[in-house]
Structures are given as C-alpha cells and as structure tokens.
Amino acid sequence: MQANLITADPQIMMGKPVIAGTRLTVELILEKLAAGETIEQLLAAHPRLTREGIQAALAYAAQTLRSDIVYPVSYPILS
C-alpha cells in the first residue's frame, strides 16, 4: 500500500481516513463494495477515484483491523 494514498485531516470529513485528493472515505469504499458494487462501478461513479486508491483503502482497513483487539460478541449479522 502506498501510505500517501490514504490521509486523515481533521478539516476533511471530520478526520476520517480518505483517499488522497478526494472526500471519499475508506468507510464509504468498504460499504459500497460490501453492498455488491464492483470496482468498475465505483470508478465510473467517482471520476477522481483510482483503482490504486481502492486497493489502498482495502489495505488500510486490513492493517487497521490487524492492529485492533477484537472481543467476540453475539449479535445478528446484517445482510
């Protein structure tokens, strides 16, 4: 992952991590992919978004989850 593709600035999107040069949050990218949108659909809908930006968002999310402690809880899975 190119670290400079994901930025966090308190002045942009309340400090959430975004793809550099956009106001597209990592969270939004993950939500859209989880909802079934394809990378091609994301790229078509957001002209400033790049394939590398999407890959950086996925890598950032994986790295962030890797560093968290997860406590198992029971809750319904949203589908």
Q: How many domains does the chain have?
A: 1
Model pTM score: 0.81
CA distance linking residue 17 with residue 9, whole number of Å: 8
**Helices 26-34 and 51-66, interaxial angle, to 10°?**
100
At 4-40, the pLDDT tens digits run 899 999 999 999 999 999 999 999 999 999 999 999 9
- Residue 73 covered by a domain: no
The residue range of the domain holding 44 is: 3-66
- Residue 20 covered by a domain: yes
